[in-house]
Structure 1
Amino acid sequence: MANFDYDLFVIGAGSGGVRAGRIAAGYGARVAIAEEYRVGGTCVIRGCVPKKLLVYASRFTSEFEDASGFGWTLGEASFDWTTLRTAKDREIDRLEKAYVANLERSGAEIIRARAVVTGPNSVRLSDGRTVTAAHILVATGAWPFLPAGVPGIERAVTSNEIFDLPALPERAVIVGGGYIAVEFAGILNGLGVETTLIYRGEQILRGFDREMVDKLAAALTHRGIRILTRSDIVSIGDGDVGPVATLNTGESLPPSLVMYATGRLPNTRDLGLEAAGVELDAVGAVKVDAWSRSSVPSIYAVGDVTNRVNLTPVAIREGHAFADTVFGGREVLVDHGLIPTAVFTTPELGTVGMTEERACATHEAVDVYKAEFRPMRNTLAGRDERMMMKLIVDAISDRVLGVHVMGEGAGEMAQLLGIPMMMNATKADFDRTMAVHPTAAEELVTLRTPSVKHRR
């Protein structure tokens, strides 16, 4: 490695790249990280972190409504988008500085420039320099996808721009059915925006447990979000006070902010990867093996740019495993098979493991345990919204195959449930665990009789 300028050159200072660079530097590697925008990547700058801050803000509407049931008398409440946006920007600035400080403390060098791969061990920077490295790690993430062929789509925004709107619109139309689309529908609705969610499929959140999604869709509708499935925008016109979306059903929606959240594509364009011999798939993702190594042995890739599992914690784990394996002297593989996840709608959806549909397709006998109830908090608040939990169990081995929760704190529960799931916990393990009372989570350890039994 002494023949190269660096032992590791990372392209992209997002979650995966920063973790890989910091850990590798901690092992004594000479590390440089090139970033053309801001350190922190999608998650910190225009993704998970600012989105969660907006989720918190959107929930105060319900908090104010519920307070009277508990004896509180509140004055008239008002919301100021500029104040929230400014506070959000201040927090992002703080986090970016923390990321930079941690990288520099580890000994990694941050290069504020665009980097293009020019060979198995060389990178050209936008400042004119060419540097060499024993290993190159591509961690450039993904970029919002806008479908072609929709007249007027240039009038729409994506998740990149939604955080920095100069003003909050009166109405919004969100196109998509995944995490980003559904979460922003909840955010805007909670902030007082008349919100329509449009998805061309049969039901939102494809791949999640269908019963849980049906319950969530009903709860979102009850909160005022209009959900139009089997629908799509065919054109976006220029209205008097904003874009006007026309649907394939023939309906024209009132002038609204139009946001597309129709997926993201790996950010590999013009990176020089194909010229360097790196194989990409049909959508531009870097093809990698289980060790995150590309078709060129010295070039690796982690995170969304590989299009394996596009979640921030996965990118972080992949980056850490890469550094441990290549520079730490110990082989570490990432298990992509069981990943807890949450959709930060209101109410939340938290999940880990198999859906009921998947379990029934892969196991001979499946028992499903369910609990649906009105949480204690909602009783005095006068809110009808219900909570739901499901345990999916292999009836032969008694192993818990999946757990799904809809309601307050579902994301927090999913994280903790991931631990026993990784340890192959059985239904008997859940049964012999003491409940914490009174909590909603106690339902997970007090379910005794299957609601449904599936047998082949």
Structure 2
Amino acid sequence: MVQAYERKHRIVVLGGGPGGYEAALAGAQLGAEVTLIERSGVGGAAVLTDVVPSKSLIATAGAARAVRESGNLGVQAFLPGADGKPIRPEIALNLAAVNKRLTAMAAAQSIDMQTTLEDAGVRVVHGDGRLDGPNAVLVSTASGGEGTDFDRIETDTLVVAVGARPRELDSAKPDGERILNWKQLYNLTTLPEHLIVVGSGVTGAEFANAYRTLGAEVTLVSSRERVLPGEDPDAATVIENEFKRIGMKVMSKSRAESVTRTDSGVLVRLADGSTIEGSHCLMAVGSIPNTVGIGLRAAGVELTDSGHIRVNKVARTAVPSIYAAGDCTDFYPLASVASMQGRTAIMHALGDFVRPIDLRNVAANVFTHPEIANVGWNERTLADATGMARSVQYTIPLNINPRAKMMGIKDGFVKLFAWEASRTVIGGVIVAPRASELIFPLALAVEHRLTVDQVASAFAVYPSLSGAITDAARAMHASQL
């Protein structure tokens, strides 16, 4: 008797960023036949030109800040003269060496990720891909120009994870030398004398903070009333005050109309007619999805007006065989969310158990100094929610925390949100150094619907910054008695 051959489920992943990487890895681990198509390198922009190098640059700035501010803790980080003042710089920065390290580390991470995929059985193809209907992809390893031959790969499930790229304005085109997007910063070999940052969202705020900390003069041009307009208002106020404390010039309610080159640098013209001159300009005005020209509409995939792919909570598009993950979708543009989308898409396609992604449980972070971390409901979403149960909140400042005092931390806070009746923790905001690490207990509380009393009863190390979380929970409990 001849045994029937059972063909493996075929998966093609278009794009190797966090979402595509996790989708490919999950598919291979679950026994599917997986092909990953990536143009630049496994890890995509997140690893090669965005998250990995930018957060590494921020870590370098943090090291410089720690040395510079160590005097507050009694550490002398310079050779003093007779008058006690430094006779040589406290720190010296070699930006060329810094950027060389960042790019080398990003490349090494990309290679490690590709090796992991290949060891798991994923076929990695370096080239350009586009959809040929809902169940096939055309791939070219050449330039993709006219007359290029494409290989056709058929698939049962397709995951589109093509990411996004920096948004460019016609009046401020990056040239890679003086007018830059965030991918081009790593080409700099010397610290900008005066960096003008246009855009005060997360990207603009993080780079402005890092470069000012490294020693550059920085002007931050914000079209909004305050920096980080999408964050908790109290948190944004702390960050803006810190920016001003370290000598950054913050120009609120100032919209940049154009950026042009001058003989010695750049000229930024504002909507009110005034101008700012600097040595370099970073354009941080958002991103656009890489969804044009890859056959999505022809395959039946629905796109938003902005070009993002519409997906549901299991990362599925309007076409049953096509899923999407990451910044090219209309979901939350975070690497962690992209990874979860990628895993969820494959598990759903292969019939595994799936929990739909709940964006209210997503923890996010702004890597300024101090950092802002948040999860769940916040003041804005609660204010917009009509007909919901009443909520309560409590804020505890960090300057009363003993570990914060030991570390010289004067600014920051922990803020908790809970439903009034059930006392279930529904959200939180932490402003502190390494808030990205401190938010995890609150993410667990929100995910598993813990009450304020359950959080308050957990043991925190004394002294510790995490103790501020239990302190806030206990204070919230006492306030409701």
Which TM-score applies when normalising by structure 1? 0.92
Cα contact 1:369–1:450 (8 A) shared by 2: yes
Q: Tell whether 2:205 aligns with 1:191.
A: no
CA, structure 1 residues 112+340, in 2 after alignment: closer, same or farther (shift >3 Å)? same
Q: Hey, what does 1:37 align to over in structure 2?
A: 40
Q: Following TM superposition, by how much is the alpha carbon of 1:186 offset from its aligned partner in structure 2, in angstroms? A: 0.9
Q: Hey, what does 2:82 align to over in structure 1?
A: none
Cα contact 1:6–1:132 (8 A) shared by 2: no
User: Which of the residues 224, 228, 231 maps onto 2:251?
Assistant: 228
Q: Hey, what does 1:143 align to over in structure 2?
A: 165
Identity of aligned residues (%): 26
Q: Hey, what does 2:81 align to over in structure 1?
A: none
Task: Write the distance in 2 (CA, Å) between the matches of 1:344 and 1:307.
Answer: 23
SS at match of 1:206: coil
Which TM-score applies when normalising by structure 2? 0.87
Q: Tell whether 2:402 aligns with 1:399.
A: no
Q: Hey, what does 2:146 align to over in structure 1?
A: none
Q: Hey, what does 2:293 align to over in structure 1?
A: 270
Unaligned regions of 5+ residues in structure 1, if any? Answer: none
Cα contact 2:96–2:188 (8 A) shared by 1: no
Task: Write the distance in 2 (CA, Å) between the matches of 1:384 and 1:139.
Answer: 40
Q: Tell whether 2:335 aligns with 1:321.
A: no
Task: Write the distance in 1 (CA, Å) between the matches of 2:241 and 2:300.
Answer: 49
Q: Report matched runs for 1:380-395 at 5 Å.
A: 385-395=410-420
Q: Report matched runs for 1:310-389 at 5 Å.
A: 310-327=333-350, 329-362=352-385, 363=388, 365-374=390-399, 385-389=410-414
User: Counterpart of 2:329 in structure 1: which amino acid?
Assistant: T
Q: Following TM superposition, by how much is the alpha carbon of 1:244 offset from its aligned partner in structure 2, in angstroms? A: 1.0
Q: Following TM superposition, by how much is the alpha carbon of 1:169 offset from its aligned partner in structure 2, in angstroms? A: 1.0
Question: Larger RCO: Structure 1 or Structure 2 (Cα < 8 Å, ≥ 6 residues apart)?
Answer: 1
User: Counterpart of 1:120 in structure 2: which amino acid?
Assistant: P
Q: Deviations over 1:171-216 (max 9, x none)?
A: 1111222211111111111111111111212222233221221122
CA, structure 1 residues 152+395, in 2 after alignment: closer, same or farther (shift >3 Å)? same
User: Which of the residues 276, 294, 297 maps onto 1:253?
Assistant: 276
CA, structure 1 residues 350+122, in 2 after alignment: closer, same or farther (shift >3 Å)? same
Q: Following TM superposition, by how much is the alpha carbon of 1:364 offset from its aligned partner in structure 2, in angstroms? A: 5.0
User: Counterpart of 1:147 in structure 2: which amino acid?
Assistant: L
Q: Hey, what does 1:48 align to over in structure 2?
A: 51
User: Counterpart of 1:390 in structure 2: which amino acid?
Assistant: K
Unaligned regions of 5+ residues in structure 2, if any? Answer: 79-89, 142-148
Q: Hey, what does 1:73 align to over in structure 2?
A: 76
CA, structure 1 residues 390+9, in 2 after alignment: closer, same or farther (shift >3 Å)? same
Cα contact 2:311–2:331 (8 A) shared by 1: no
CA, structure 1 residues 253+298, in 2 after alignment: closer, same or farther (shift >3 Å)? same
Task: Write the distance in 2 (CA, Å) between the matches of 1:385 and 1:278.
Answer: 50
Q: Tell whether 2:66 aligns with 1:63.
A: yes
CA, structure 1 residues 361+121, in 2 after alignment: closer, same or farther (shift >3 Å)? closer
Cα contact 1:373–1:388 (8 A) shared by 2: yes
Q: Tell whether 2:123 aligns with 1:101.
A: no
CA, structure 1 residues 131+443, in 2 after alignment: closer, same or farther (shift >3 Å)? closer
Task: Write the distance in 1 (CA, Å) between the matches of 2:456 and 2:29.
Answer: 43
User: Counterpart of 2:264 in structure 1: which amino acid?
Assistant: V
For this pair of structures, how many residues does the alignment match? 451
RMSD: 2.6
Cα contact 2:445–2:455 (8 A) shared by 1: no
CA, structure 1 residues 358+5, in 2 after alignment: closer, same or farther (shift >3 Å)? closer
